[in-house]
Amino acid sequence: MAELGFDGKVAIITGAGGGLGRSHALELARRGALVVVNDLGGSVDGTGSGTTAAQAVVDEIAAAGGEAVANYESVATPEGGAAIVQSALDTWGRVDIVINNAGILRDASFKNMDAAKVNPVLDVHLKGAFNVTQPAWEHMRGQGYGRIVCTASGAGVFGNFGQANYGAAKMGLVGLTRVLAVEGAKYNIKANAIAPVAKTRMTEDILGPAADKLRPELITPVVAWLAHADCPVSGELYSCGGGRVARVFLGVSPGITDPDLTVETVRDRWDEIRDESGYEVPADLNAELAIAFKSLA
Ligand code: NAI
């Protein structure tokens, strides 16, 4: 089978100065994409900033014969997001791909979670995706083409101790991705999300013995496929790490329908309500409502 190329496609990758984003940037550029390597250059908790991380990746891409431009803006503000998209437009006149990858951590148990831990995490992960994707969206709609990949996390999708802020932001990205898929459909804009596991500076202390198998380069093929013109899906979520790739989906069980529902009925039929057999996977809210209305007929 022919190799998948990105010739002439302009890709914005946020947080691409290290970890997963760097790997995505190197691979897309190697395959012919023109890449905005965005990175604020701070520490894992989001403090500090610098230009060396993004510039080093641009230099690596250039040394390998690819084309990239560095951008040091923060995704956490609308102005930063606009400037990141403007950098693509100023350099190449278009934007085809947005990979929302920038991220920080401020973990604490929910009891100890305060505004200084919640707001920056929501700002970078969740609002960051709004801030960058929205100015790009306008151009994608206009050109009738776009690919958006959001970096979610199992911490939000499945739940993880100490990550209420991060988990909420990451599951918020799944909701954003699904709505973008619905709204983008008629413009050939596809939006999908990943829930990765990889050894980066963010996770190197917590992954244990499996860490060395979890190379960032094993996340990138999934992201590249979701960012490619041939990507067949939109609004979906994929779990990946160490070369494993699997779909994560929201299913709806058949449940029960009782027009005279009482709390006792809910209690007495609880096992039936919870029974997972025969579930369906609605593509969007309309599909879910169709299932619900069918049961009322
Ligand atoms: P990383 O810390 O190496 O990469 C994150 C990058 O985002 C850093 O280079 C950082 O400077 C940049 N960044 C932070 N705030 C920014 C801002 N306001 N504007 C622009 N850039 C900013 O960590 P990693 O693991 O590569 O993380 C990439 C994404 O993957 C993050 O969204 C993270 O939450 C997510 N993720 C990673 C997992 C893993 O196992 N490594 C697991 C689940 C999700």
Domain ranges of the chain: 10-248, 263-296
As to burial, measured by CB atoms within 10 angstroms (0-12 exposed, 13-18 middle, 19+ buried), residue 67 is middle
Q: Which of 72, 145, 166, 238 is catalytic?
A: 166
Which residues sit with their C-beta closer than 6 Å to ligand 1? 14-15, 17-21, 38-42, 44, 46, 53, 74-76, 101-104, 124, 151, 153, 196-198, 200-203
Q: How far apart are CA 282 and CA 248, in angstroms?
A: 13
Place of tokens 């510039």: 55
Burial (CB count within 10 angstroms: exposed 0-12, middle 13-18, buried 19+), residue 79:
exposed
Give the residue, by CA position, lying nearest to ligand 1 atom 29.
Answer: 101
Determine the distance separating the centroid of ligand 1 and the alpha carbon of 198, expressed in angstroms. Answer: 11
Work out which ligand 1 atom sits closest to the CA atom of 75.
Answer: 19
Of 1.10.10.10, 3.30.1490.100, 3.90.650.10, 3.40.50.720, the CATH number of 10-248 is 3.40.50.720
Pairwise CA distance, residues 25 & 53, whole Å: 12
Using the atom order of ligand 1, give the atom closest to the CA of residue 17.
Answer: 9
166 included as an active-site residue: yes
pLDDT for the residue 12:
99
Do 68 and 22 form a contact (C-beta atoms < 8 A)? no
Q: What is the pLDDT along the chain (297 residues), one digit of tens a residue?
A: 789 999 999 999 999 999 999 999 999 999 999 999 999 999 999 999 999 999 999 999 999 999 999 999 999 999 999 999 999 999 999 999 999 999 999 999 999 999 999 999 999 999 999 999 999 999 999 999 999 999 999 999 999 999 999 999 999 999 999 999 999 999 999 999 999 999 999 998 889 888 999 999 999 999 999 999 999 999 999 999 999 999 999 999 999 999 999 999 999 999 999 999 999 999 999 999 999 999 888
Residue whose Cα lies nearest atom 41 of ligand 1: it is: 198
Closest C-alpha to ligand 1, atom 11: 41
Q: Give me the pLDDT at residue 109, please.
A: 98
Burial class (CB in 10 A: 0-12, 13-18, 19+), 122: middle
